[in-house]
Amino acid sequence: MAETPTNPVFKLPESIPSPSEIADAWSQVVANAIKLAGTTVERAADPHAPQAYDPAAPARAFGAFAAHLFTHPHELVRAQQKAAADWMALWGQAAARAAGAKPEPVAEPQRGDRRFSDPAWSDEPVFDYLKQAYLLTARRAMELVEGSDLDAATRTRVEFFTQQYLNALSPANFAFSNPEAIRRAIDTGSISLLSGLANLLADAAEDGGLVRRRAEREFELGVDIAATPGSVVFQNELMQLIQYAPATDEVYRRPVLYVPPLVNKYYLLDLQPKSSLIRWLVEQGHTVFVISWVNPGPDLADKDIEDYIALGPVAALDAIERATGERSVDLFGFCMGGTLVGIALAWLAAKGQGDRVASATTIGTLFDFSELGTWATFTEPEQLRAMERHLLHKGFMAAQDLQALFSAVRANDLIWSSVVNHYLLDKEAPPSDILYWFADGAHIPRAFLLSWAHDILRDNALTRAGALQLGGVPIDLGAVKTPLTAISLKDDHVSAWNATYESARLFGGPVRFLLGGSGHNAGVINPPAANKHGYWVNDALPETPEAWLEGAEKRDGSWWPYWQGLLSEGGKGEKVPARVPGAGGLKAIEPAPGSYVRNRG
C-alpha cells in the first residue's frame, strides 16, 4: 500500500489572483524586459571589452579530464560500479517505501546544506527520490574527480568547475522540481513565477548580471551599520583615516590601527553595534583608527602595491602620530589587509623604522600562497592573461567581477539560495548586515592587481627575502622583529587555517598563533555577549599546524577578550585622558563613516 502523507503537500488555493494583479505582474515583466533590451544594446556598443575571466577555462579543464579518463579507463569503471550499487540501493529504498515501509535514506544532505530543508523533500516519496538521486550523482561525480590520478593543478580546476555544474543542476533550482516553488505557484495563482521572472530580467539588466539579494529592509551607513561615532581626521587619494570617539574617560596610550582588505569596505568590523569589533575595542578603552580605502576608478589605474603601502598604513602612522603624539601603534589587518600589514612591517624594518609598530595582528591572512586550494583555479596562465587584457582595457577590476568570483566559491549560499528565493518564490530574504556588506564591494586598480596576481600569488614572492621590492626597498618578512599574533578561523574557505599557520612562521620575531571557530567572515564577527564558536590557544609554535592543534587548549566563547588582553599588555598598559577626534594635531574633516565608503562606483 502506497504511503500517503497525513498533511498534503499541495492544496488548492483559497482564492485566485484578480485580473489587475495578473496585469501588474505582466507589466513588470515587460518593463524589465525592455530595460534589459536597452542595456544589451549599450553593452554591444563596446563589443571588444575583454572578459575578466577566461570563458574557455571549463572546457579546457574538462577536456583534460576526458583525455585522462581515456587513458585511465579503470577509474571510470570503478566509478560506474559504485554508481550502479548506489542506484540499486536507491531503487530498493524507493520500492520499500512504496510498500509502506520506512527505510533509512540512501543519501542525505551534508550538514549545513539548506537546499532541501522543506519537509516535502523528505515527506513526499517523489521529491525524496529526486533529492537522493541528485545527491548520489553529485557524490560519485566528485569522487571520480578527487580520486583521479590527475596532476594537482588540473584536478583543482576540474573539481571547481564540476562543483559549479553540480550546484547549478540541483533540483531545488528549478520551478518544476522544487516542491516549495510549486506550492508557492499554486498559492499565488502563478503570480510568484511572473514576479520572479521580472526579478530575473531586472538582475540581468544590471552591470555584472548577478542575482541581487532582495531583503526586507536595507541598512543605512552611519545609522544602523558602520555607526560607531567618530570622524575622518586625514585623507589622501587612496584612503580616509577614521578616528573613533572615546567611550571611556581614560584610554590606553598606544593607539590601534586597522587595515582592511581592498576588495570590500572596512565596516565588516563595524556592522550593527551589537556585533561591532571596532565599537567593542573603543568600549575597552582603546583609541581606534581605521583606514577606509577609496573605491578607485580608471584615474587610479597605475596605483600599485608600493602606493598602497606608502599612502595607506605608512601615511596612517604619520597621521596618528600627529593626532596623538604617539609614534608606536598596535597594527592589525584582515585577509588581504593582513597581507598589507605584513608587507608594511617588512618595509618599515628595511627602513629602520620597525619600532613604529609595537605589535601586529593578522586575521585570516596568507603570506605563503603555495597552497591556494580552490583559488588556484584562477592562477592558471590563461586566466591571468584574460585578467590582464581586461585590466589593460578597463583600468580596474570592478567590484561586480570580484563579487562573482567570491560568490562562485560558495555558490549555494551566495547565488543559488537567492535564485530560489527571488526567481522561484518571489520572496524577500531577512535582513543580513554581513550579506549587505558583502554586496557592497570595491574596485581594485590595474597596477595593484597585476602585481598582486603575478608577484604575490603566482611567484609567491613573500616567501623569499627580497623577491618583492617596493621602490627599491626589499621586502623580507624574516627581518620583521615586531611581535605578531596570527589569528585564523577553523572553517575558513578563503584562507585555510593550516596555510595561514605556515605563513605566520615566515616572520622573524616572536609569533603567537590563535585559532578561532567558524568561517572567514562569521568567525571574525564574534562578540563576547554571543558566547559562540570558541577558540584554541597554544603558546608553542611547532613545525606543523597539526602538531599545534594537538597541543592547543580549546576555550569557550569569543577570542576578542583574549586578543584584546594582548593589545593592552594584559590590562597593564599605561593610560592617558581620552582623545577626542579633531582635538589633537589633526582636525576633523567629516563625521564617520566618511565619504569614501559611500562611493559604489
DSSP 172: G
DSSP 484: E
Q: Is 335 a catalytic site residue?
A: yes
**Alpha carbon distances (Å) from 577 to 250, 253, 324, 587:** 5, 9, 11, 18
**Active-site option among 181, 288, 300, 335:** 335
Q: Give the integer Cα–Cα distance in Å for 274 and 433.
A: 11
**Mutual orientation of helices 381-394 and 57-71 as an angle, nearest 10°?**
170
Decide if 523 contacts 517 (C-beta within 8 A).
Answer: yes
Q: Give the integer Cα–Cα distance in Å for 123 and 289.
A: 54
Side-chain-facing half-sphere of 204: CA atoms under 13 Å: 18
Q: φ, ψ for residue 199 (rounded to 5)?
A: -65, -45
Q: Give the integer Cα–Cα distance in Å for 439 and 442.
A: 9
Using the Cα atoms of residue 595, residue 596, residue 597 and residue 601 in order, give the sign of their dihedral.
Answer: positive
Q: How far is CA 132 from the centre of its chain?
A: 30
Q: Give the integer Cα–Cα distance in Å for 9 and 461.
A: 58
Nine cell digits for residue 531:
558566547
Any idea of the CA torsion for 67, 68, 72, 75, to the nearest 10 degrees?
A: -120
Q: What is the 3-state secondary structure (H, E, C) of 254-293?
A: CCEEEECCCCECHHHHHCCHHHCHHHHHHHCCCCEEEEEE
317 exposure class (CB count in 10 Å sphere: 0-12, 13-18, 19+): buried
Any idea of the CA torsion for 431, 434, 440, 443, to the nearest 10 degrees?
A: -160
Q: How far is CA 271 from the centre of its chain?
A: 15
Q: φ, ψ for residue 353 (rounded to 5)?
A: -120, 25
Which of the residues are catalytic? 335
